[in-house]
Structure 1
Amino acid sequence: MDRLAPLQLFIAAAEAGSFSGAARRLDLGPVQASATIARLERELGTRLFERSTRRLRLTEAGEQWLPHARQMLAAWEDGQTALRGAAAQDQPLSGRLRVSLPSDIGRQHLWRWMEDFVAADGSTDLQLELRLSDRVTDLVQEPVDYAVRYGEPPDSSLIALPLAPANRRVLCASPAYIARHGQPATPADLRNHDCLRWVLGDSLHARWRFGSREGETVAVEVSGSRTVDDGGLVREWAVAGLGIAYKSGLDVAADLAAGRLVALLPDWLGEPAPLHWMAVGRHRLTPALRRLAESIRARCGALEASLARR
C-alpha cells in the first residue's frame, strides 16, 4: 500500500493539474502531497512535473511514465477485485460513501432508494455523505467518490454503470397552464410559450431538441420569464403553472402519473437523458456498490415503465 499511494497521487495530480486538487481528492494535506511526489521523483531519478505558481504540468518523463503508472494501479485494482471473490459478494456497504446526486431526482427519489437499500442490505457501519447539485462534480479534484449523472459518460478514466440508459426528456406543463395558454402543436410553437429554462454552470439550456418518429430532428430556441440553476425548482415552477418544462422523464414521472403535469407533443421524442452511476477506478465498484447501482436501476426501470404506459 505504501508503494501504491505515490502512484495514486501521481495519477491524480496529472489529471487534476495541481497538487492541491489531487490532495483534496485523496484526503491528504498539500504539504504531504508535495513531499510524496518529491520522494517519488527521487526514487525514479527524474522530475515528473514542471512546477510554477500558475500551473502544474507533466515533464516529458512524466508523460512517458503516466500510462505505466495507470497500468500498475489498474493491475492492483483488478487483483483486489479478484481476491474479494465470492466471499465478498454478500458483504454490506461500509465505511464512507460520498456521492454527488442531481438535485431533482436526488431529492425526490435517489436518497430514499439509497436508504432503502442500506436498510435491506444490513449496512450498519456506513457513513453516507450526499451532495445534491446540478453542477457537474469533478470526481478527480473534489472529495467525492461517486456521482450520479445525466448524459453520456465523458471519454475519461471514469467508470460508468448505466442506471437508465433509455431515459429521455419530456416536455410538460400543468393543467392550469394549458387551460390559460393552450398546448403547442409543434416544437416551433414553443417560441410563443413561457418556457422554464435551466442553467448548468455558465451555460443556459435554452435550445430544446426533439426527434420525430420518422427520424427528423428539430431544435428550437426558447425563451421565458424564469431561469434557474436548480432542476428541482424547474419542476416545481411547472407544477405551479408558471410555464412549460423540458425535464428528464425520471424527474416528472410521478407528477405525470398524478396528473400534476401533462406530457406535450406526444408525437415528438425528447432529447436522450441517460442516467449513470460514475466512479473513478474499478476498485471502487465493490460487489455491494454494484448491488446498490442495480437496485437503483430497477427503481428507475419502474419509473420508465410508468411513463411508457401513458
Structure 2
Amino acid sequence: MDKLSALSMFVATAEHGSFSRAAEQLGKTPSALTKAVGHLESELGVRLFERTTRRMALTEAGHIYLEGARQALMQLQLAGEEVDQLQHELRGSLRLTAPPSFGPAFLHEVCCRYMEAHPQVRLEVDLNDAFVDLIDGGYDLALRDGPTDLPGLIARPLTENRIYLCASPAYLERKGLPVILDTIPQHDWLIFQHPLLNRHFWWLRQGDERIRLAQPAARMVSDNYDFLLACTLRGHGLQVLPRWSAEPYLASGQLVRVMSEYLLEPDVFGPWVHVLYLAHRRRTRKVRAFIEMLEGYMQERGIG
C-alpha cells in the first residue's frame, strides 16, 4: 500500500475518532481505512489504536506516531508548494493573526500591497487580542507585542514598542494647561483598558531615572484602542500611544507628543513587536515575501 495514503488515512482516523467518519471525510470506504491502519501497525509491530465495540482511542505508540505523521505530511505539502512556486507565481492561502489596533495602523496597507504584488494568494486576516495557537488555528504567522517565549515559535523583532503621551493641538489649545508631572491629574485622559494592563500606575523613564506615576482619572475609558484614538484626534484629551501608531499623526501635525523627555514603559506588552511563525514555515516563499514586505513598509515609515 502507498505509505503516504496510509499515513493520511491514519491521521484522519485519529482526528475523527472513527473509521467511518474519517472515511466519509476522505471519500473512501471504512474498510480501506481499516486496512491502511492495519498495514501501518504490521509494519511498526505495535497497535496504534485500542479498539472496542463502542470506541477507539490512540495507544501511547499511536500518539507518538500521530505527531510524526502530521509533521511528515505537512513537510511534504510545503515542499510541494515550494517546488510549484519555483515555476509559478505565489498562490494558495496565507493566514495571519494580529491585534485589532495593528490593522488601521499599518497592517491594512501591507496586506493591500501584498495582494497587488501576488494576485494568486488569498489572505485570511484574523484581528484579535488573543494569543492563539498557530498550529491549532492553522496560521502561517502572527504579529504580537507581549510574550514571545512560546514553544515551537520563532520570534522576529519587527519594531520597537516605544510608548508616547500624545494629544491634538486643538485639545492643548483649548485646555491651556502645560502637560508636566504636576498637572497630569488636571488633564482629560482617554485610557485604554486591557485585562493585562496595570490600572493603578504607570512607569516613566527619563534617562536612568524610573518614576512611578499613579494612573490619572479617566475622562473616557474603552477596551477599543482605535475608538479612543479617534476621540484623541478630535481633541478630547490625552492618550498613551505606541510609536508605531502615533508616527503618521505626529508627522502630519494631527497629534503632538507631550512630555517627550519621558518614555512610558510598555508594561506587559514588552519592548518589541514581533513577527511569530512556526519553525517549519520559515522557508516558505509566501511567508518570506510577506515578512519582507512588512519590514520594508515599516522601514519606509521610519519605524522599522
TM-score by length of 2: 0.69
Superposed displacement of residue 286, structure 1 = 1.0
- Partner residue in 1 for 2:219: 225
Q: How far apart in 2 are the matches of 1:211 and 1:9?
A: 57
Go from structure 1 to structure 2 and tell me whether the alpha carbon gap of 1:247 and 1:137 turns closer, same or farther (over 3 Å shift). Answer: farther
SS in structure 1 opposite 2:189? coil
Question: Is 1:196–1:226's contact at 8 Å kept on the other side of the alignment?
Answer: yes
Q: How far apart in 1 are the matches of 2:179 and 2:37?
A: 63
Residues 183-222 of structure 1 aligned to structure 2 (within 5 Å): 183-186=178-181, 189-200=183-194, 202-203=195-196, 206=199, 207-216=201-210, 218=212, 220-222=214-216
Superposed displacement of residue 181, structure 1 = 5.3
- Partner residue in 2 for 1:16: none
Question: Is 1:209–1:217's contact at 8 Å kept on the other side of the alignment?
Answer: yes
- Partner residue in 2 for 1:133: 128
- Partner residue in 2 for 1:53: none
Q: How far apart in 2 are the matches of 1:178 and 1:74?
A: 57
SS in structure 1 opposite 2:150? coil
**Number of residue equivalences:** 272
Q: How far apart in 2 are the matches of 1:177 and 1:247?
A: 16
Is 1:112 matched with 2:109? yes
| Per-residue deviation, residues 170-206 of structure 1 (Å, max 9, x unmatched) | 21111122220534323x7534433222233x44553
Q: Write the letter of the residue equivalent to 1:148.
A: L
- Partner residue in 1 for 2:151: 156
Q: Write the letter of the residue equivalent to 2:47.
A: G
The Cα RMSD (Å) is: 4.3
Go from structure 1 to structure 2 and tell me whether the alpha carbon gap of 1:61 and 1:191 turns closer, same or farther (over 3 Å shift). Answer: farther
Where does the alignment leave 5 or more consecutive residues of structure 1 unmatched?
14-18, 21-27, 49-57
Where does the alignment leave 5 or more consecutive residues of structure 2 unmatched?
51-56
Go from structure 1 to structure 2 and tell me whether the alpha carbon gap of 1:217 and 1:5 turns closer, same or farther (over 3 Å shift). Answer: farther
- Partner residue in 2 for 1:182: 177
Go from structure 1 to structure 2 and tell me whether the alpha carbon gap of 1:8 and 1:111 turns closer, same or farther (over 3 Å shift). Answer: farther
TM-score by length of 1: 0.68
| Per-residue deviation, residues 36-68 of structure 1 (Å, max 9, x unmatched) | 9xx9899553679xxxxxxxxx99948x966x8
Go from structure 1 to structure 2 and tell me whether the alpha carbon gap of 1:47 and 1:212 turns closer, same or farther (over 3 Å shift). Answer: farther
Question: Is 2:203–2:210's contact at 8 Å kept on the other side of the alignment?
Answer: no
Residues 161-172 of structure 1 aligned to structure 2 (within 5 Å): 161-164=156-159, 166-172=160-166
Residues 60-139 of structure 1 aligned to structure 2 (within 5 Å): 61=60, 92-120=89-117, 123-139=118-134
Superposed displacement of residue 293, structure 1 = 0.6
Q: How far apart in 1 are the matches of 2:276 and 2:9?
A: 22
Superposed displacement of residue 106, structure 1 = 1.0
Question: Is 2:140–2:281's contact at 8 Å kept on the other side of the alignment?
Answer: no
Larger Rg: 2
Go from structure 1 to structure 2 and tell me whether the alpha carbon gap of 1:296 and 1:82 turns closer, same or farther (over 3 Å shift). Answer: same
Q: How far apart in 2 are the matches of 1:196 and 1:238?
A: 7
| Per-residue deviation, residues 145-191 of structure 1 (Å, max 9, x unmatched) | 43222234142223333321x231221111122220534323x7534
Q: Write the letter of the residue equivalent to 2:188.
A: D
SS in structure 1 opposite 2:106? helix
Q: How far apart in 1 are the matches of 2:72 and 2:135?
A: 20
